[in-house]
Structure 1
Amino acid sequence: MTAPGEEIHDSPTPWVADHIRAYLETDGAQGHLYQGWPTLLLTTRGRRSGRLRRTALIYGRDADRYLVVASNAGAVQPPAWYLNLTAHPQVAVQLGADTFTAQARTATPQEKPPLWARMASIFPLYDNYQTTSDREIPVVILAPVTPDPTPHP
């Protein structure tokens, strides 16, 4: 997904950039659990710029796959990272000290209910976001395409 030496641009949101920095500096020792929620770092390729973009997201597990929710706190527009991965579904994931390439896709309407329930059990505000949003908030499945790292909670 990345070329050697290619620059990665972190989220422009200050608290997210701080979270990413702490995560990177400690291989996730600080940041994997953010306010009690498990988080990973997701790097996507910009759909217009082609630049690599990194953000931190709450995640869940479904067997050997990882789940993230494109909630954008229920805003009208989905988050930029979601738009990027729909254009370029190969992404990079950092989970603790482990990094791997994954193929991202939106859960189908048939797949979504149990996956949504799993994510809402981790972060209950997702249900509030969906209730107040006019858009269907996607659950994204990240399927590793390189060996899966050591399982994390």
Structure 2
Amino acid sequence: MADADAAAIRAARGDWISEHLEDYLTSGGTRGHILDLTEVGGRELTTHCLIKVVGRTSGKVYVKPLIYGNVGGEIVIVASKGGADTHPGWYLNVLQSNTIGVQIATQAFEATWREPEAEERHQVWSYMAHLYPPYLTYQQSTSRQIPLVMLTIGRPIDVFSADDAH
């Protein structure tokens, strides 16, 4: 998918994403963790986490809501960017970080990350596409391989706040 097409989709959903992030943050995670995404081809009970990353060039802290799955105790997030031809900024920021913050509902943690490879990647991709079927369409619309990031949670940290979000 051309980046312009993906950008148009993101712009149309932008208010929704901002509202979702605000709801997640202002509730301390009591709202926003599980959403019904059947309207956009997803599942009724779709789980969402928040990630907190530092911008690789700006040094700013960014908080992003993302769909996640749990595979063998690791949190899996997908750098789909709606099938755009370029990676999302948050993913590029993760690549420059040893650890990131992750919040699931009302609990937040420091996390290390890795990317699965070969057969493991295939299995994790299949699982994530089952959780959120539009990922399959996203992958078909771009020539880049959509990255998967697996997070291992570490020490607890404070839940994220609106002051953290850019």
Q: Same-fold call, TM > 0.5?
A: yes
**2:85 is aligned with 1:76:** yes
Deviations 1:100-143 (A, max 9, x none): 00012222233211100110111001111111211000111011
- Report what 1:109 is aligned to: 118
Q: Deviation of residue 21 (structure 1)?
A: 1.2
- Where relative contact order (Cα < 8 A, 6+ residues apart) is larger, the structure is 2
- Report what 1:62 is aligned to: 71
1:133-152 superposed matches below 5 A: 133-146=142-155
Q: Which runs of 4+ in 1 moved over 6 A?
A: none
Q: CA RMSD in A?
A: 1.3
Distance in 1 of aligned mates of 2:98 and 2:117: 15
Aligned partner letter, 1:16: I
Where does structure 2 lack aligned partners over 5 or more consecutive residues? 1-13, 37-44, 157-166
Matched residues, number? 135
Distance in 2 of aligned mates of 1:89 and 1:45: 11
Deviations 1:17-54 (A, max 9, x none): 21111112223222101223100000111011111111
Distance in 2 of aligned mates of 1:125 and 1:65: 22
**2:51 is aligned with 1:42:** yes
Distance in 2 of aligned mates of 1:80 and 1:34: 24
What is the TM-score when the length of structure 1 is the normalising length? 0.83
Do the aligned partners of 1:89 and 1:105 also contact (CA within 8 Å) in 2? no
Alignment identity in percent? 33
Aligned partner letter, 1:98: Q
- Report what 2:24 is aligned to: 23
